[in-house]
Amino acid sequence: MLLLAGVAAAATAARPAFAAAATSAFQHGVASGDPLPGGILLWTRVTPTPESAPASGAGPVVTVDWQIAADASFATIVRSGVVATGPDRDHTVKVDVTGLTPATTYWYRFGLAGAWSPTGRTMTAPAADAAITRLRAGVVSCANWEGGYFAAYRHLAERGDLNLVVHLGDYVYEYASGEFTAGGTVVRKAQPANETIALADYRTRHAQYKTDPDLQALHASVPWVITWDDHEIANDAWSGGAENHDPATEGSYAARVAASRQAYAEWMPVRLAEDGHIYRRLRYGNLFELSMLDLRTYRSEQASGAEVDDPDRTITGAAQMSWLMDGLTNSTATWKIVGNPVMISRLDVGALPAWLLGPLGKLIGVPENGLVLNGDQWDGYNADREKLVDTLRAHATKDVVFITGDIHTSWANELTTKDTGTANPAAAEFVVPSLTSDNVNDFLGTSPGGPLSLLAATLIRATNPHVKWVETDGHGYGVLDITSSRCRMDWYHLADRTSKTSSVTWVQGYSVGRGSSKIRRESAPTA
């Protein structure tokens, strides 16, 4: 049997190379993503001349070397090649390497005119039928540049025991500078200063994010599996528009989507399908399959009231829903993990007081009049949720775990519907907090962990018995620890998101045992 966590830990000695300073030719670091048993996707961006700045549309077409090796010194190069890039793709480079050995650690780098990039480390997935005993993944979401520093990425990079990072969306934010801050304070100014609408805007914003040293370190230390949520385009996006897109002043929404998607494809280490869709499935031996969802491209417009039960409304789209149900019910993996950008568990808020509904409304679109509705989440698309849960129950599909972002807060939930009741949940859900984006105490203007926040958590749980734990203030990340007998999430929160050197503290752990969707509280991890 293979203990994948041990493979990651064995390479810890090479970690200092991951944080090596970017060179003038390689200012945006290196990254890898979407690991397969015999392959990996590699990424970088080159700046061959001073005028070749991101989004400039200027600079020459150049040829970039790439190498992937069995050792950090590159004494044993197992694959290499050259690839051309230029201003038509913003001088980004993506190489889909094949012919590698499953479950193996590799080192990689890029070269331009005799200069080498910082070294990255990556790992291929195990063979589909390999017996895997353990895997660990960092789980992150909602990284607002102006809301703070990315110390959470640094802490994940320094662990040395991760096999991959799963990013659940809102990797970048589209707002103009000053529109979404750290409780009213701009910690560091976003570029461009205007809201991102055109292709050059999105390229510039992605490029700025990729200059963050902690983000570069995490990308270079472990492969990522990513999906998008709304802020990669615009707030509360749906298939035909977005909450903050005004066609009268901002032009065609379709053109904006095309611009954002092009920049995303250029700047992110992700393997998109030929038709551009991002939902996909990756397998790690017999231990788990990871189904990454896209809950923005195909969804109906957000609604309220009785419309949420309309079977013609969808959050996934018909094709993606069929793909998801078929994949979960037919999977032979022990654990079926769903990378889920927005919360699927019900959130009933009708009995909550106005002072709490206000901040929740800013986070999730709940109106202050107390309607029992979370319109931007799965709550706004109840027919799709019922269909999915009913399918899992009809096929007796067990060991499904949703890992979720978007809501900026930390939750441990059991997935229930009117048919399952609280005694028979269909799945577990673990929701990770934002890295830096505002949450409840930031909107209330109170100190983290204060009396109002503690009362808010108590009231939410009282109204929602399937919510076993909720923490409304912390910023940070989760670590998913999977073994053949249980799937566990541990939550880690930063001391201060506005500090580059912030410490981090373990705050809670919950797990679900094999064959059960009931979650249980855990003590702090010992290893």
CA distance 410 to 470: 5
Domain membership of residue 143 (yes or no) is yes
What is the structure's pLDDT at 87? 98
pLDDT of residue 304: 74
**Spatial separation of the C-alpha atoms in residues 136 and 129, rounded to whole Å:** 19
DSSP assignment of 51-120: T--TT---S--EEEEEEEESSTT-SSEEEEEEEEE-GGGTTEEEEEE-SPPTT-EEEEEEEETTEEPPPE
Cα torsion angle, 222, 409, 430, 309, sign: negative
Instruction: Report yes or no on 216 lying in a domain.
Output: yes
Number of domains in the chain: 1
Identify the domain containing residue 188 by its residue range: 131-522
Is residue 66, in this structure, part of any structural domain at all?
no
Q: What is the CATH number of the domain that holds 421?
A: 3.60.21.70
Q: Is residue 50 part of a domain?
A: no
Distance, CA of 411 to CA of 444 (rounded, Å): 19
pLDDT under 50: residue ranges of the chain: 1, 5-19, 367-372
pLDDT at 448: 83
- 78, with CB counted inside 10 A (0-12, 13-18, 19+), is middle
Assigned domain for 55 exists: no
Evaluated on CA atoms 463, 524, 121, 401, the torsion sign reads negative
The answer to whether position 299 is within a domain reads yes
Q: Give a yes or no: residue 406 inside a domain.
A: yes
Q: Which helix (H) or strand (E) holds 522?
A: strand 519-522
Are 348 and 463 within 8 A, CB to CB?
yes
What one-character-per-residue DSSP string does 183-228 give? TTB-SS--SSSSPP-SHHHHHHHHHHHTT-HHHHHHHHHS-EEE--
Asked if the structure places residue 229 within a domain, the reply is yes
What tokens does 278 get? 């991002």
